[in-house]
């Protein structure tokens, strides 16, 4: 079955089902995805020198600083999603589209990587094939698995956050943040329930926070420069906290398991920094051709992630973009910080551009398949049935409102 993203709008669908795009947040979505690429370039490219080493070269320190400023990317992406999803109705068609998008990348790129022999650090075995065939259930892309389950919960979460009072939503958000973020941020131990921000539960927290910002705002973020200050201050706090823990470890040999705790998605510092960056872009106003271009490109950003994080390419593309050569220079203390910055920026631009083009091609292909299958009566009936489910949830949302 094939679905075209642009043709699954029910003619009677209401406003809540499709929230208009805001160019400022769509621009932030693109920036967040480039940050994700930088994170994967540094981490999977081997450019993050171990914090257990006694000395870090200037390029090594810069790599950790870049990591600190980009680690907010996933939380930012989820804040944007939650901001729009909190006022949107649940659509089964969107769930199916998402699954098909993930599945098409998982199969096509995974098999291509295996057949061409470019896969590294991944065995081509039964587990690999099962991961390609069942990408959500097998956690091929952890972010998409968490997002998929979050979207499944939207009929419950969306209804709840739309009907809670300001006080109720405040209390709920604070309790969630305390349980899944604040505790792990202040206790010098590892908690057994800590998912490090890689699970659906953490993104429920981020969703609730985004819903609160959408409905009631945050006075602090409305002031000029405050969002940017929170972002920069939070990121510097991440870097400073990490270096402090490193120094304690080097002097005492303790806290080894907590060396990177400040850089985990559900730590309070990355969360606050992400809120700051999100709030800063809420104040940004862009228009004209640039805004139109951003809104055209931004829906394809998920394809960038699905392409470069596929198991067939996940540990390979970094060397294609010079990570191996740069690592060799860092080992010999001859790599300059400027070179690291240039390589990381070039990787972000190149991977982003290729990913956008790949997703545009996939969308065009799916549209063609949709038109072709549209000649078949069973396919048309199936589409109408699924659109009927969309309409059912839309009416339910209107009735509740």
Q: How do residues 180-202 score in pLDDT, each as one tens digit?
A: 999 999 999 999 999 999 999 99
Res. 1: pLDDT tops 60: no
Poorest-pLDDT segment among 51-60, 341-350, 391-400: 391-400
| Averaged pLDDT for residues 218-246 | 94
Poorest-pLDDT segment among 11-15, 295-299, 333-337: 11-15
- What is the predicted pLDDT for the residue at 307? 97
Name the band, by pLDDT with cuts 50, 70 and 90, for residue 56.
confident
Of 280 and 401, more confident? 280
| Averaged pLDDT for residues 305-311 | 96
Name the band, by pLDDT with cuts 50, 70 and 90, for residue 135.
very high
| Averaged pLDDT for residues 63-84 | 96
Res. 337: pLDDT tops 70: yes
Res. 12: pLDDT tops 50: no
- What is the predicted pLDDT for the residue at 19? 55
- What is the predicted pLDDT for the residue at 20? 67
- What is the predicted pLDDT for the residue at 11? 35
Tokens of 145: 């698995």
- What is the predicted pLDDT for the residue at 397? 55
Q: What are phi and psi of 167, to 5 degrees?
A: -65, -45
Name the band, by pLDDT with cuts 50, 70 and 90, for residue 53.
confident
Name the band, by pLDDT with cuts 50, 70 and 90, for residue 398.
low
- What is the predicted pLDDT for the residue at 15? 39
Res. 93: pLDDT tops 80: yes
Helix, strand, coil share (%) of the chain residues, nearest 5: 75, 0, 25
Res. 77: pLDDT tops 60: yes
CA distance linking residue 370 with residue 282, whole number of Å: 36
CA distance linking residue 82 with residue 157, whole number of Å: 10
Res. 9: pLDDT tops 50: no
Do 204 and 154 contact (CB within 8 A), yes or no?
A: no
Burial class (CB in 10 A: 0-12, 13-18, 19+), 188: exposed
23-44 helix and 288-297 helix, angle to the nearest 10 degrees? 50
Name the band, by pLDDT with cuts 50, 70 and 90, for residue 118.
confident
Res. 42: pLDDT tops 70: yes
- What is the predicted pLDDT for the residue at 76? 97
Do 297 and 360 contact (CB within 8 A), yes or no?
A: no
Res. 107: pLDDT tops 60: yes
The whole-chain average pLDDT of the chain stands at 91
Tokens of 297: 């490109």
Q: What are phi and psi of 104, to 5 degrees?
A: -65, -45
- Which ranges of 153-264 does DSSP label H, i.e. alpha helix? 154-163, 166-177, 183-186, 200-216, 226-252
Q: What pLDDT digit, counting tens, does each position of 234-266 carry?
A: 999 999 999 999 999 999 999 999 999 999 999
Tokens 């590294």 belong to residue: 120
């Amino acid at each position: 079955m094939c679905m075209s993203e642009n043709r699954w709008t029910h003619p009677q669908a209401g406003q809540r089902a499709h929230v208009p795009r805001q160019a400022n947040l769509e621009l932030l979505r693109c920036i967040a995805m480039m940050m994700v690429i930088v994170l994967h370039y540094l981490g999977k490219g081997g450019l993050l020198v171990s914090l257990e080493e006694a000395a870090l070269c200037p390029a090594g320190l810069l790599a950790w600083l870049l990591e600190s400023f980009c680690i907010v990317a996933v939380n930012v992406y989820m804040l944007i999603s939650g901001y729009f999803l909190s006022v949107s109705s649940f659509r089964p068609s969107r769930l199916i589209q998402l699954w098909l998008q993930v599945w098409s990348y998982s199969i096509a790129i995974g098999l291509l990587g295996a057949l061409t022999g470019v896969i590294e650090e991944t065995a081509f075995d039964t587990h690999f094939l099962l991961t390609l065939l069942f990408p959500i259930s097998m956690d091929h892309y952890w972010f998409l698995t968490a997002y998929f389950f979050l979207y499944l919960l939207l009929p419950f979460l969306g209804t709840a956050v739309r009907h809670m009072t300001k006080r109720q939503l405040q209390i709920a958000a604070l309790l969630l943040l305390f349980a899944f973020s604040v505790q792990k941020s202040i206790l010098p131990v590892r908690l057994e329930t800590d998912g490090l921000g890689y699970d659906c539960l953490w993104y429920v927290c981020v969703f609730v926070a985004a819903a609160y910002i959408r409905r009631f705002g945050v006075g602090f973020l409305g002031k000029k420069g405050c969002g940017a200050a929170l972002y920069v201050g939070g990121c510097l706090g991440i870097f400073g906290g990490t270096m402090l823990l490193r120094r304690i470890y080097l002097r005492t040999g303790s806290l080894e398991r907590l060396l990177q705790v400040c850089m985990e998605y559900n730590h309070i510092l990355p969360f606050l920094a992400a809120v700051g960056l999100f709030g800063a872009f809420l104040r940004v106003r862009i228009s004209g051709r640039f805004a139109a271009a951003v809104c055209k490109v931004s829906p394809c950003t998920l394809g960038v992630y699905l392409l470069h994080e596929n198991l067939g390419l996940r540990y390979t593309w970094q060397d294609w973009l010079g990570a191996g050569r740069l690592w060799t220079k860092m080992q010999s203390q001859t790599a300059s910080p400027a070179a690291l910055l240039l390589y990381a920026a070039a990787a972000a631009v190149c991977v982003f551009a290729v990913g956008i083009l790949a997703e545009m091609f996939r969308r065009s292909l799916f549209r063609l398949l949709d038109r072709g299958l549209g000649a078949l009566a069973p396919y048309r009936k199936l589409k109408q049935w699924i659109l009927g489910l969309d309409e059912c949830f839309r009416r339910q949302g209107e009735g509740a409102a």
